[in-house]
Amino acid sequence: MSEQNNVRYELYYWPSIQGRGEFIRLAFEEAGVPYIDVARSPQDQGGGVQAIMRLLRGDLEGLPPFAPPILKVGNLVIAQVANILQYLAPRLGLVPDDEASRVQANQIQLTLADLASEAHDAHHPVATSLYYEDQKPEARRRAGHLVTERLPKFLGYFDRALERGGKGHDYLVGAGLSYVDLSMFQTISGFRYAFPKAMARIESSIPRLVALHDRVAARPRIAAYLASERRLPFNESDLFRHYPELDVEPAKGA
Amino acid sequence: MSEQNNVRYELYYWPSIQGRGEFIRLAFEEAGVPYIDVARSPQDQGGGVQAIMRLLRGDLEGLPPFAPPILKVGNLVIAQVANILQYLAPRLGLVPDDEASRVQANQIQLTLADLASEAHDAHHPVATSLYYEDQKPEARRRAGHLVTERLPKFLGYFDRALERGGKGHDYLVGAGLSYVDLSMFQTISGFRYAFPKAMARIESSIPRLVALHDRVAARPRIAAYLASERRLPFNESDLFRHYPELDVEPAKGA
C-alpha cells in the first residue's frame, strides 16, 4: 500500500456526525491506513469537541484552521476537505501520479464540495447560526429548486463525466479507484438519505453513477467500515438531513 | 519571472463581469504573463459567450468543466478557481516552493471561495435560476446575517492569519506576495462595493487586511490593470452586487 503507514494521522472533526469529515474517513478506511478520529476519543484522553476547539483557537503555531475537518500530520495542520484529500491521496495510493489526473481529481472534488454546500443550504438557506425551525419557509423554497434543478444538473454532469472517462467507465479519474470515487459514493448516500423521493426520480437518468456507488459500497474495506460502529448514522444535525417536507417538488410559481 | 511566458493561456469566463474569473485575471496581471480572455474577443473570431458554451458542452476531449472560470493550456482544461490558481501559481511565480506553504495557500484560497459563495447567496439565497427580484425577502434576511455574523467572522479570521504570519505580517503565505493575497484584495474590493456600510463598520477591526488590500492595489502591474479597460466595473449582474437594501443590520428577531 503506502510507505507512510507509520505516520500518525490525526483527524479532527465533530464526533457525532458524518458531515464533511466523512470524505476524509472514507479515504483512510479504503486505504486501510490507521488514523485517529481525535474528537471521538474521551475528553479526559485529549479527545472530545474540546480538542477541535483548541485547534480553532490557534493553540498551535502557524495558521489556525477556519473550520473542521482538520488533519494534523506532525507539525502540518491542514483544513478544507479538498485540500486534505489532495495532500493524503498520493500517500494513500488513491490518485494517479500524473498532473493532469490530479488536476481533474481536484476539480471533481471541488465540484462535489459545491454540491455538499447546496445540501447544507437546503436546510440552512438563511443562516448557519439559526435553527432549521427558524428558516423553514425559505428552506422549503430552496430545497425545491435543489431537487428539481441543481441536483439533477450536478448528478447528470458527474454521470456524463463517467461516460466520457476511461475504458469501462468504471471510475471518475483514470482507470482505477481514486478518492473522488469515495466522495461520490458519500454524496449519493447522503442525498439518498436526505431526499429519497427526489433521488428515486433522478436515479434512472444517472445509471453510471448508481453503479459507481454500488461498486464502492462493495469494496471489502468500505463494506466493513459501513457495517462497523465507526460509521456514524445519518441524523438531523448533519450535513445531509432528512426533512420529508423538503423532499418535494417546488410549489407552482415558487 | 517564469520560463513559461511562451505558453498560450486561454481564460474562459463571462465577458461582462469580474465574478470568479477575476481571481484568475489578477494572477496573470500581477505576473505580467500574457493571457487570452477568450470570451471578451469578438464572436466571429472565436470569442464571445459561445466559446464558453462550447467547452461546457464538452466539444473537447476529456472531462468537460461544470462551470467557468475555465483555463485551457494546451490539451489541459482546468476548472474551479482554486484548482486553476494552484496550477498557475508555481508557473507564474506566485507561491513559495515548499509543500507546507502550498497547502496553506490552497487552504486560504478555498476559504475565500466559501466566502465568495456567501457573497453570491446573499443576493441569491433561494435559487441561481431566479432573479434577485424574485427572492428579495429571503435575500434581506440572509444578507443581514452575512454582514453581522459571517463577514466579520471570515475577515477577522484572515486578519488574525496575517497577524500570525511571517515577520512584518505583510502577506498571507510566506514572506512575499502570493496568489492568495491577490484574491484577498479582490474579496475586500468586492465587499466594499457590495456592502459599503457594513465594511465601514468592520474595517476598523481588520487593519492588517486593509493594509494588505492597499499594498496589493499599489503594486505597479495591479495599479495599471485597475486603471485599464481590462478591469471591468462592478455591476449588478456580478458576484458582488450592491443592493442598498441588503447593506443593513438584520431586523430584530430576524
Residues with Cβ within 8 Å of residue B190, at least 6 apart in sequence:
B18, B116, B119, B234, B239, B240
Predicted local distance difference test score (pLDDT) of residue B168:
67
Whether domain B99-246 has CATH 1.20.1050.10: the reply is yes
Predicted ipTM of the assembly: 0.95
Task: Name the residue with cell 464558453.
Answer: B52
Question: What cell does B124 get?
Answer: 441569491
* pLDDT tens profile A77-134: 999 999 999 999 999 999 999 999 999 999 999 999 999 999 999 999 999 999 999 9
**Residues of B with Cβ-Cβ distance to A57 under 8 angstroms:** none
**Residues of B with Cβ-Cβ distance to A118 under 8 angstroms:** none
Q: Which of B78, B103, B126 faces A87 most closely, judged by CB atoms?
A: B103
- Flag the least confident range among A55-69, A106-120, A177-191, B162-176: B162-176
Q: Which of A140, A186, A146, A178 is nearest to A162 (CA)?
A: A178
Predicted local distance difference test score (pLDDT) of residue A250:
60
Predicted local distance difference test score (pLDDT) of residue A1:
45
* pLDDT tens profile B72-131: 999 999 999 999 999 999 999 999 999 999 999 999 999 999 999 999 999 999 999 999
Predicted local distance difference test score (pLDDT) of residue A2:
47
Q: Using the beta-carbon criterion (under 8 Å), do A66 and B160 form an inter-chain contact?
A: no
Please state the pTM of the whole predicted model. Answer: 0.96
Cis peptide before B69 (omega within 30 of 0): yes
Predicted local distance difference test score (pLDDT) of residue B4:
52
Interface of A with B (CB under 8 A): 58, 62-66, 76, 78-80, 82-83, 86-87, 100, 103-104, 106-108, 110-111, 114, 117, 121, 125-130, 135, 138, 141-142, 145, 149-150, 154, 157, 160-161, 164-165
State the average pLDDT over residues A7-20. 97
**Distance, CA of B187 to CA of B177 (rounded, Å):** 16
- Flag the least confident range among A93-97, B161-165, B229-233: B161-165
Q: Using the beta-carbon criterion (under 8 Å), do A62 and B142 form an inter-chain contact?
A: no
Q: Is the pLDDT of residue A214 over 90?
A: yes
Domain ranges of chain A: 9-92, 99-220+237-246
Q: Using the beta-carbon criterion (under 8 Å), do A64 and B126 form an inter-chain contact?
A: no
State the average pLDDT over residues A208-232. 98
* Model confidence band, residue B164 (pLDDT cutoffs 50, 70, 90): confident
**Under CATH, which number does the domain A99-220+237-246 receive?**
1.20.1050.10
Exposure string over A66-85, b if 16+ CB within 10 A, otherwise e: bebbbbbbeeebbbbbbbbb
* pLDDT tens profile B174-205: 889 999 999 999 999 999 999 999 999 999 99
* Model confidence band, residue A254 (pLDDT cutoffs 50, 70, 90): very low
* Model confidence band, residue A136 (pLDDT cutoffs 50, 70, 90): very high
- Kindly tell me the burial class for residue A114, based on how many C-beta atoms sit within 10 Å of its own C-beta (0-12, 13-18, 19 or more): middle
Q: Which of 3.40.30.10, 3.40.50.620, 3.30.1330.10, 3.40.640.10 would CATH assign to domain A9-92?
A: 3.40.30.10
* pLDDT tens profile B123-160: 999 999 999 999 999 999 999 999 999 999 999 999 99
DSSP codes of every residue in chain B: --TTTTS-EEEE--TT--TTHHHHHHHHHHHT---EEGGGS-GGGT-SHHHHHHHHHT-SSSPPPSSS-EEEETTEEEESHHHHHHHHHHHHT-S-SSHHHHHHHHHHHHHHHHHHHHHHHHH-SS-TTS-GGGSHHHHHHHHHHIIIIIHHHHHHHHHHHHHHSSGGG-SSSSSS--HHHHHHHHHHHHHHHH-HHHHHHHGGG-HHHHHHHHHHHTSHHHHHHHTSTTSPPP-TTSSS---GGGSSPPPTT-
Q: Is the pLDDT of residue A226 over 90?
A: yes
A136 neighbors A244 (Cβ within 8 angstroms): no
Q: Using the beta-carbon criterion (under 8 Å), do B104 and A62 form an inter-chain contact?
A: yes
